[in-house]
Structure 1
């Protein structure tokens, strides 16, 4: 049985991805800041598949020490982590000139730092084993910056570049790395905004893509996948 670690797993895309891997008979390690949300989601996942193990850690993924504690706990309890999904992220609608004090570091620590630190934590073990798959949830803003969300765009572009460096470092060791690049996706970022869900990407679409990419043959890798609304960006 394979083991997957997923950040940002109790909401949005991360939640849908965790459910999809549970249905694929994959053990899961997930973290969240809210203990009640985490406990409720663990129960839901085990009801979906009673045969899997679900490891939960109350942690803020944007805090390096708490993130690494989560990684250590997942490794101790599950063993080798075959799959990492870096789904934690935050969208801030603010131009760079209007950013609040300390917003830069907050967004960097949420959108970029976790992927970097988890790669450093698990990467050498993946090299020694010669197996694994890392998914980084980027954004279409990495390719087409949004001036109304400047620092978000910058961090997602940096994450896409980090993803490419990871892939180039790992490809000779048989470890796969994939950038998932969603367009307008119906997550909590749209909370309070009236939108037509039939004109947006759904979290389940992202989860389906990741599962299908993961299940490809050992010799195939999807470097990046762009998933946008059929009617264009919202």
Structure 2
């Protein structure tokens, strides 16, 4: 049985991805800041698949010490981690000139730092066994910057660059690395905004793509996948 660690997994894309892996008989470790949401999600996953082991840790993934503590707990409880899904992210709608002075580090520590630290924490063990799959949830803003969300665009572009470095470092060891690049996706980022869900990517679409990529043969890797609304960006 394989073991996955997923950040930002109680809402949106992370939640859909965790549910999809649970249905694939994969043990799951997730963290979140809200203890009640985390406990409710654990119960939901256990109902979906009573056969898997689920590790939950109350932690802020944007805090390096709490993130590493979560990684240590996941490794201790599950053993070797085979799948990393770097999903944690935030979308502050602000131009760089209007950013609050603390926003830069907050967004970097949310959108970029966790992927870097989890790669360093688990990467060498993946190399030692010659297998693993890392999924980095980027954004179409990494390719087409959104000036109304400047620092978000910058950090997602940096995450895509980090993804590419990971892939080049890992390919000789048989460890797969995939950048998932969604366009307008119906998550909490759109909370309070009237949108037509039939003209957006759904979290379940992203989860489905990840599962299908994960289930490819050992010799195949999807370097990156772009998933955009059929009617164009919202």
For the residues of structure 1 that align with 2:220 and 2:56, how far apart are their CA atoms? Answer: 31
* Paired position in structure 1 for 2:69: 69
For the residues of structure 1 that align with 2:200 and 2:165, how far apart are their CA atoms? Answer: 30
For the residues of structure 2 that align with 1:219 and 1:123, how far apart are their CA atoms? Answer: 19
For the residues of structure 2 that align with 1:25 and 1:45, how far apart are their CA atoms? Answer: 11
User: By how many angstroms is 1:21 displaced?
Assistant: 0.3
* Paired position in structure 2 for 1:96: 96
User: By how many angstroms is 1:101 displaced?
Assistant: 1.4
Cα RMSD of the aligned pairs, angstroms, is 0.3
Paired residues, number: 234
For the residues of structure 2 that align with 1:154 and 1:101, how far apart are their CA atoms? Answer: 16
Check if 1:223 corresponds to 2:223.
yes
User: By how many angstroms is 1:193 displaced?
Assistant: 0.0
User: By how many angstroms is 1:124 displaced?
Assistant: 0.6
* Paired position in structure 2 for 1:233: 233
Q: Kindly provide the CA deviation profile for residues 39-87 of structure 1, in whole angstroms up to 9, marking residues without a partner as x.
A: 0000000000000000000000000000000000000010000000000
User: By how many angstroms is 1:2 displaced?
Assistant: 0.5
* Paired position in structure 1 for 2:210: 210
Superposition misfits of 4+ residues, deviation over 4 angstroms: none
TM-score, with structure 2 as normaliser: 1.00
* Paired position in structure 1 for 2:183: 183
Q: Kindly provide the CA deviation profile for residues 114-147 of structure 1, in whole angstroms up to 9, marking residues without a partner as x.
A: 0000000000111111000000000000000000
Tell me the secondary structure at the aligned position of residue 114 of structure 1.
helix
* Paired position in structure 2 for 1:192: 192
For the residues of structure 1 that align with 2:141 and 2:115, how far apart are their CA atoms? Answer: 17
* Paired position in structure 1 for 2:8: 8
For the residues of structure 1 that align with 2:129 and 2:94, how far apart are their CA atoms? Answer: 43
For the residues of structure 2 that align with 1:129 and 1:64, how far apart are their CA atoms? Answer: 26
For the residues of structure 1 that align with 2:36 and 2:101, how far apart are their CA atoms? Answer: 31
For the residues of structure 2 that align with 1:148 and 1:37, how far apart are their CA atoms? Answer: 30
Unpaired segments ≥5 residues, structure 1: none
Matches within 5 A, 1:35-184: 35-184=35-184
For the residues of structure 2 that align with 1:30 and 1:93, how far apart are their CA atoms? Answer: 27
Tell me the secondary structure at the aligned position of residue 76 of structure 2.
helix
For the residues of structure 1 that align with 2:197 and 2:233, how far apart are their CA atoms? Answer: 12
TM-score, with structure 1 as normaliser: 1.00
User: By how many angstroms is 1:213 displaced?
Assistant: 0.0
User: By how many angstroms is 1:15 displaced?
Assistant: 0.1
For the residues of structure 2 that align with 1:112 and 1:24, how far apart are their CA atoms? Answer: 28
For the residues of structure 1 that align with 2:27 and 2:211, how far apart are their CA atoms? Answer: 14
Tell me the secondary structure at the aligned position of residue 229 of structure 2.
coil
For the residues of structure 2 that align with 1:127 and 1:191, how far apart are their CA atoms? Answer: 40
Tell me the secondary structure at the aligned position of residue 30 of structure 1.
strand
